[in-house]
Chains A and B, each alone.
Chain A
Amino acid sequence: MTDHKNRITIAILALGGQGGGVLADWIQEVARHEGWLAQGTSVPGVAQRTGSTVYYVELSRDDGSGRIPVMAQMPMPGDVDIVVASELMETGRAVLRGFSTKERTTLIGSTHRIYAIGEKSAMGDGRGNGDRIIEAAGERSRKFIGFDMEAATDRAGSVISAIMFGALAGSDALPFPTETFHRAIKESGIAVASNLRGFAEGFEQARQPVAMPAKIAHERPVPTTPRGSELAARIQNELPVAAEDHALHGVARLMDYQDASYAGLYLDRLKAIAALDAAPYELTAETSRHLALWMSYEDTIRVADLKTRSTRFDRVRGEVKAQDEQVIAITEFMHPRLREMCEMLPASIGSRILGSPSASRFLGRFFTKGRHVQTTSVKWFLMLRLVAGLRPMRPRSLRYQEEQQRIEHWLELVADAARRDRATALELVRCQRLIKGYGDTFDRGLRNYSAIIDYYRENPVGAERLTELRELALSDETCQALDRALVAA
């Protein structure tokens, strides 16, 4: 293969709207200013609407002969010197399409994720594994420059194309002085100040070692009250080490959700499972996770409480980057239905209303449409605090009784399975993951959970089959996939 010192080929992989075209233009400006011949091509069209697009730039140095080179119109696998990708999976796509090669490619890719619709709409966790991509990027490039370009964009308050432009300059993959890059930004005359900031940020980052995306680290809760310390001690004495982490989080969560005695009930239940478990105690660990989640089921009281906390108000202000002199108002979109209302009431009353069609019809009329709840207004804040204040009554509520009953049945089933085969018990525990959300979402989740559990009661299948069924339930909103599987079996 001939080596072209006189030619540099650059592929830019970006998402529509990220300014890949702007970057391509800047690069050509720089090259032309340095006396190189520059050509850029792209295939916009529909892909401009948020799809992934490829821009291709070819630079050619005049060899003095005055001959005009024949330039390619698209990146050819194995023939690309520089790849700039604005997102982690686009970086992966550059590798997948063979644009980035070990022999010659400087691969500049962001490590942040913009999730594709397929990943976002999954009913569970549909995200692709980014670590595998970063690995491949390192293996299949001469030099891999990877950092979180979105974070850089936030720091610099610029657009991502400026970050990429800076990173390109910082990579030293182009034989052009930095001033010429600056010049291109200045001459474009658009948002010059912020683009220069972005450029500097990208330039700096390109000279750092590859930065892996940050992962959330959860530190263990530390007791702050006597009751807390008691329960922490119980965990120490009664539960295997493997379960400690989740159990501590669980206890903290349930004390926040209800009170210490409720957290105590949680530990009693856990203890019973732990007694049937053995090393590596995965069953106990997972039970402490899912039991805590189930016991802290989302009801109107909980939602009202969380919505009115000062920590939440601060979080929102931070999220919208509100300045002190700006006034902000927070409005919730709540849709309490008669069901949720009755579930808050003492079981006897709640069930009676739901039991009587006439009462339901009459009261139902008041809960047909969604409400705009302006939490930052004193009136609505009081209203929500009032609901949150019902917490002490929760144990007598209809919903509480329903949930505790379900939980007990679930734990019995788990315990029974654990005596025979812990793997199966573990999968039964994990089925709790199906029960989540509110309104229709909750109904669907509970329905799928019950369907699987009932099926299990009749024909006690093994762990593998349970995993399959759970994944089917999470694969299809209409529940048809699961139902077909259950009928077929």
Chain B
Amino acid sequence: MAERSFASEVKKLTAGEGETFTGEGILAVTKALLQSGVAYVGGYQGSPISHLMDVFADASDLLESLGVHFEASASEASAAAMLAASVNYPLRGAVAWKSVVGTNVASDALSNVASGGVTGGAVIIVGEDYGEGSSIMQERTHAFAMKSQMWLLDPRPNLPSIVDSVEHSFRLSEASNTPVMLQLRVRSCHMTGSFTAKDNIRPPLTVGEAAAMPRRDVDRIVLPPANFLHEVEKIEKRWPAGIAYVRDNRLNEWFGPEKVDAGVGIIVQGGLYNNLNRAMERLELADEYGTSKLPIYCLNVTYPLIPEEVADFCRDKRAVLVVEEGQPEFIEHELNTLIRRAGLDTRIAGKDILPRSGEYSAKVIADGLADFLKDLAPGMAPEKETAVPIPAEVASQIPGRPAGLCTGCPERPVFTAMKLVERQLGPTHVSADIGCHLFSILPPFNLGNTTMGYGLGGAGASAFKPKDDNGKRAIAIMGDGGFWHNGLTSGVGNAVFNKDDTVTVIIDNGYSAATGGQDILSSRAKNKRRTTNNPITAAVKGVGAKWVREITRTYDIPKMRDTLLEAMTGKEKGPRVIVAQSECMLNRQRREKKQTAAALKAGKRVVRDRFGVDADTCTGDHSCVRLSGCPSLTIKSNPDPLRQDPVAHVENSCVGCGVCGEVSHAAVLCPSFFRTRIVSNPTRGEKLRARIGRTLIQRMQRSSEKRLAARAF
């Protein structure tokens, strides 16, 4: 099960003709797919498109009733390869993933499907994780669209436009036998809004019916001579067809007057239109309804560009500002070519005025536009808004707040153990992976030297052959998500085959946790539509790993530490694999909170552990924090009138995972930590024993406190 249930969202997907759909952008896309008669859907979860996957996963009944096939693909490559179903058959298919990383993984299949071309509409929904909050390298999906010749849509960020563009994508794809990428920025995926729904459509042909009457066309297969034919076909047939569809259906839009005396205009990516309008509003060049004082050519299709449209827009203008986010500035380059070919000498301004890198927020665009007008249309140039920054000495008080492992996270003790091993063996090269565990590179653990991609932690360590027999081994980290995504072969298999002398720690928390807690092959949960409970250890041994250790409770820090030590120092050669298992605490809490509440209500016996720190024995060194970083382990002002440093403090959000205690033992920290076990609805016996104990102890306390009072100040 995913982090949350999407039952209510699923209900929205059943909205019919004329009903108003209100919800997130990515859900609007999901609904639009059903309205377009999609026959099959696949994809791989990851911000910002996880919800699309989660909702489809929860909507199985609806999908079955419509005859739509849905797969939670093993990777983006698997998802992209699914599009093969649209090559020979008029099946509409859609796949989704986080980009640019997902597109990287998928690119082999994408090149193939783009080469052979498609019969049924093939749409790739990419959540462009760029700018604020992004967790990946800052690159553009645009490059993939160009290199493989797939059309790229970047609609204006409002639900009606987004929904329309989904429906157009399928038609465009079919009209030009070309896969279409629909690009949504992070904020658009999570943006709420409304649109008027249409009825869902059963696919005219289902995947089952297609499979029942196979069709074959050797010209669609990427092998000589067809591959050469494909190149020609792309240029001579599909390209013009694509251009024609975009032009004839007016997918791009125009705003504002056709021309202004100053002879300037703006070309903008559809996805940035709202930011542009807000910028122009602030500069009093537009109103809140998008009534613009400047000509705007809005590219809802950013690849390919439409030569006639470009020429017509630029013809009567001295200069045009291109608002294009990310780099390289492919659109700006292409525009310059088109202008030359059209024999125009309009100046194309872009990244020579706007910043070369970074997100194009309304503020950034406003400043750039003001500069542009100052240079080229001084008559219209507005005043730049300038803000007085707050004094540095105040700003410096505001701490950075990096993401970190959740309260009680089972991955924390793994890194605590690594910290303890580091104290004994000195620093080790650590090849990190993608997932929550990547937070190990941040304080307080500061562990991890590189990350090469999802599931590639193992491969990232493969180059490090120890110097000699007692040379230091590199450590590779891998999550269960990454392991099944490709790590089994690219990491473990590779290490076995090459006799790599490395240590691989596979963190098995039962979910693809970082992407929202989706089930995977090794999940413990019973899932009636998926096959789970396939142990990672079995897979690892299956590819020939000999030295394999399974730790079934990561919170057992001594065991974790000693196993790591054994792996690091053991004499025998070959890869060592440690599978560290404990359930993702976020999901575990979601599951157990309900049960506990119910049990308490029913008056059943419930035990809760919670940790604490004695302020009067804590001296405020915070070693405990440096070995944990748990959100519930924090500090507070020292209650002692003489001591100055803040003391450690455990908040009531503590889930009692036990790491605090284990750490103070394993690291010989301090006796300030204690565990409080709270038993609700205790048994009679318990109550009695407790009462007797309390009475005896209180008696002793009274006498010793009498003595204390006697010698007190």
Known A42-B190, A133-B398: A293·B643 in contact at CB below 8 Å: yes
* A360 beta carbon closer than 8 Å to chain B: no
Known A72-B275, A121-B626: A96·B395 in contact at CB below 8 Å: yes
* B273 beta carbon closer than 8 Å to chain A: yes
| Contact in complex: A477, B665 (CB < 8 Å) | no
Q: Which segment, of A345-353, A406-414, A415-423, A434-442, faces chain B?
A: A434-442
Across-interface contacts of A40 in B (CB, < 8 A): 191-192
* B132 beta carbon closer than 8 Å to chain A: yes
Across-interface contacts of B531 in A (CB, < 8 A): none
Q: Which segment, of A178-186, A327-335, A455-463, faces chain B?
A: A327-335
Across-interface contacts of A122 in B (CB, < 8 A): 622
| Cross-chain contact of B401 among A52, A252, A321 (Cβ < 8 A) | A52
1/0 per residue, CB under 8 A from B, across A39-59: the answer is 111111111111111100000
* B637 beta carbon closer than 8 Å to chain A: yes
| Contact in complex: B686, A327 (CB < 8 Å) | yes
What's the tally of chain A residues with a CB closer than 8 Å to chain B? Answer: 144
* A20 beta carbon closer than 8 Å to chain B: no
* B307 beta carbon closer than 8 Å to chain A: no
Provide the bound-state CA to CA distance between A314 and B281, in Å.
Answer: 61
Across-interface contacts of B669 in A (CB, < 8 A): 335, 437-441
Q: Which segment, of A111-119, A165-173, A275-283, A479-487, faces chain B?
A: A111-119
Provide the bound-state CA to CA distance between A359 and B637, in Å.
Answer: 43
* A265 beta carbon closer than 8 Å to chain B: no
Q: Smallest distance from the beta carbon of B255 to chain A beta carbons, Å?
A: 10
What's the tally of chain B residues with a CB closer than 8 Å to chain A? Answer: 124
| Contact in complex: A78, B387 (CB < 8 Å) | yes
| Contact in complex: A333, B385 (CB < 8 Å) | no
Q: Which segment, of B28-36, B168-176, B286-294, faces chain A?
A: B286-294
| Contact in complex: A2, B444 (CB < 8 Å) | no
1/0 per residue, CB under 8 A from B, across A391-417: the answer is 000000000000000000000000000
| Cross-chain contact of A309 among B394, B405, B646, B705 (Cβ < 8 A) | B705
| Contact in complex: B385, A78 (CB < 8 Å) | yes
Within 8 A of A (CB), among B669-713: 669-671, 673-682, 686-687, 690, 693-694, 696-698, 700-702, 704-705, 708-713
Within 8 A of A (CB), among B222-243: none
Q: Which segment, of B313-321, B336-344, B462-470, B628-636, faces chain A?
A: B628-636
* A141 beta carbon closer than 8 Å to chain B: no
* B429 beta carbon closer than 8 Å to chain A: no
Across-interface contacts of B619 in A (CB, < 8 A): 298, 436-438, 441
How many residue pairs at the A-B interface have CB separations less than 8 Å? 376
* A36 beta carbon closer than 8 Å to chain B: no
* B187 beta carbon closer than 8 Å to chain A: yes
| Contact in complex: A256, B664 (CB < 8 Å) | no
Q: Which segment, of B73-81, B207-215, B610-618, faces chain A?
A: B610-618
Complex: chain A residue closest to B693, CB-CB = A378
* B478 beta carbon closer than 8 Å to chain A: no
Q: Smallest distance from the beta carbon of A26 to chain B beta carbons, Å?
A: 12
Across-interface contacts of B645 in A (CB, < 8 A): 124-125, 433, 436
Provide the bound-state CA to CA distance between A72 and B188, in Å.
Answer: 11
Q: Smallest distance from the beta carbon of A121 to chain B beta carbons, Å?
A: 5
Provide the bound-state CA to CA distance between A263 and B403, in Å.
Answer: 48
* B402 beta carbon closer than 8 Å to chain A: yes
Known A73-B191, A326-B678: A43·B133 in contact at CB below 8 Å: yes
Can you list 7 A-B pairs, Cβ within 8 angstroms, ordered by A? A40-B192, A76-B282, A136-B390, A298-B617, A325-B682, A440-B669, A441-B670
Seed contacts A69-B288, A231-B713, A321-B652; 9 additional CB < 8 Å A-B pairs: A39-B192, A50-B404, A73-B157, A92-B397, A98-B387, A133-B394, A133-B398, A298-B619, A307-B674
Taking beta carbons and an 8 Å cutoff, which residues of B are in contact with A?
22, 47-48, 129, 131-135, 157-158, 185-188, 190-193, 273-275, 277-278, 281-282, 284, 287-290, 361-363, 366, 385, 387, 389-390, 393-395, 397-406, 436, 439, 442-444, 514, 610, 612, 614, 616-617, 619-623, 625-626, 629, 631, 633-635, 637, 639, 641-646, 652, 660-662, 664-671, 673-682, 686-687, 690, 693-694, 696-698, 700-702, 704-705, 708-713
